[in-house]
Amino acid sequence: MLSLSTSWNSSKHTSGVTMINEIKSLGFDSVELNFALTAAMVDDVLALKEAGVIRVSSLHNMCPLPAEIEPRKASPDYYSLASNDDKERSSAVAAAMATIDCAARLAAKAVVIHSGKVDIKDRIRELAALVNDNKDFVDMRERMFAERSAAREIHLANAVKSMRELVPYAKKAGIKLGLENRYYYREIPVMDEFEMIFGQFPPDELFYWHDVGHAEVFDRLGICHHKTLLDKFAGRLLGVHLHDIIGPINDHRPPGRGTFDFNVVRPYLKPETIMVLEVHQPASADDIRESVIYLRGIFDNI
C-alpha cells in the first residue's frame, strides 16, 4: 500500500481533520505524518485513526513538533542528534522518544529518523551550481570531502550515542527506526557512516530508510552511487520515500514529472516494504493522482 506524506499539504492546514480530508479525497487510506505537525493536529489524526478513517504507516521525526518550535521553523534537524552541545542533543533525543511514543499510539510501524549533522557549512547547492564546469566542480567536491572528514568524528560519535538511547526505546515500544539517507552532504550518515552505525546494532533493531531523491542527488553529484546504497543495505530496508528529480538537485517532484527511473528501486522492494509518496508543493492534487497511476505501472504493491 502506498502512503502519502503530509509534507505535501501540512503547511496549508492548522487542523489535522482538514489535512487528512484533503489527502483522503485523492484516494489515500494511509499517510506518513511529517515533522511540522503540532500536537493538536496529531491529536486530530489520532481521533480519525481510531474512527477508522485513516491509517498511519509511519512518522517522520519530530512528530509532533515540540511546543517551543514554531511550525514555520520546523526541521527534523532543529535539534541535532549529533550535536556536541549536551543540552541540544538531549532535546533531540527527547523529541525522538516523543515521536516513538506517538507512533505507538497511532499504531504506526515505523519512525523515519535523521541522525544529525556535522557542524560545517553545507555546500551541496554550491556544488550543483558547478556541475557543468568540470575542474571547479571536482575541486569543490574534494574540498567538501576534506572539510567534512576533518570535522566529523565527534559528531558521528554523538550520533551513535543518541542511537544507543533510541534503539532500545523504540524496540520496547514496538516501533521500527528507519535511518534515512540524506540530501545535504554535512548530514550524518554518508555511506561509510551507515556501515559504522549499523555495525553497532543487530539488523532487527535498526533499519535503513531509502529516499530515492536524496540518493539520486548524491549519485548525480558524484558523491555516492544510488545503487550502491541499495545493494549494501537491502537487508535492512524498512521503507522508501518516492519522489522524482529534475536536474542534479531539484527533488520532491511528482513521480513521472522528472528524470529518475524508478525501475532502479523496484528489485529491492519486498511486500512488507513501507512505500511513501513524499511530494512537496507546488505539486497539485492532479499531479498526485497522476503520480499514483505512473507508479502503479512500475510497482506491484501500490
Average model confidence (pLDDT) for the chain? Answer: 97
pLDDT in tens, 72-95: 899 999 999 999 999 999 999 999
pLDDT category of residue 41 using cuts at 50, 70 and 90: very high
Name, in order, each residue with C-beta under 8 angstroms of 159's C-beta and a sequence gap of 6 or more: 81, 82, 115, 116, 188, 189, 193, 197
pLDDT tens-place string over residues 82-138? 999 999 999 999 999 999 999 999 999 999 999 999 999 999 999 999 999 999 999
Helix axis angle for 39-50 and 16-24, nearest 10°, is 50
Q: How far apart are CA 244 and CA 256, in angstroms?
A: 7
Per the CB < 8 A criterion, the answer to whether 59 and 106 are in contact is: yes
Q: Is the pLDDT of residue 302 over 90?
A: no
Cβ pair 108, 59 in contact under 8 A: yes
| Cα→Cα distances 211→10, 97, 108, 237, Å | 20, 22, 19, 11
Taking residues 285-295, report their average pLDDT.
98
Q: Answer whether residue 166 shows pLDDT above 90.
A: yes
Over residues 59-84, the mean pLDDT reads 94
CA angle, 285 then 288 then 292, to 5°? 145
In the chain, what percentage of residues exceed pLDDT 70?
100
Question: Among 105, 94, 86, 107, which Cα is nearest to 67's?
Answer: 94
Hey, what's the cell of 130? Answer: 558547478
Interval 257-286: pLDDT, tens: 999 999 999 999 999 999 999 999 999 999
What mean pLDDT is predicted for residues 47-55?
98
Domains annotated for the chain, with CATH where assigned, are 76-275 (3.20.20.150)
Please state whether the predicted TM-score (pTM) of the whole model is above 0.85. Answer: yes
Give yes or no for residue 300 having a pLDDT over 90: no
pLDDT band at residue 55 using 50, 70 and 90 as cut-offs: very high
pLDDT value of position 66: 96
User: At which residue does the C-alpha cell 483522503 appear?
Assistant: 24
Q: pLDDT, tens digit, for every residue of 201-236? A: 999 999 999 999 999 999 999 999 999 999 999 999
Strands 237-242 and 207-211: parallel
Q: Is 60 in a helix, a strand, or coil?
A: strand
Quote the CA–CA distance of 134 and 221 in Å, as a whole number.
11
Buried b (16+ CB within 10 A) or exposed e, 89-124: bebbbebbbbbbebbbebebbbbbbbbbbbeeebbb
Q: Please determine, for residue 301, whether its predicted confidence score (pLDDT) is greater than 90.
A: no
Q: Please confirm whether the linkage preceding 189 is cis (ω < 30° from 0).
A: yes
User: Where do we find the cell 526541521?
Assistant: 75
Round to whole Å and give the CA distance between 49 and 13.
Answer: 18
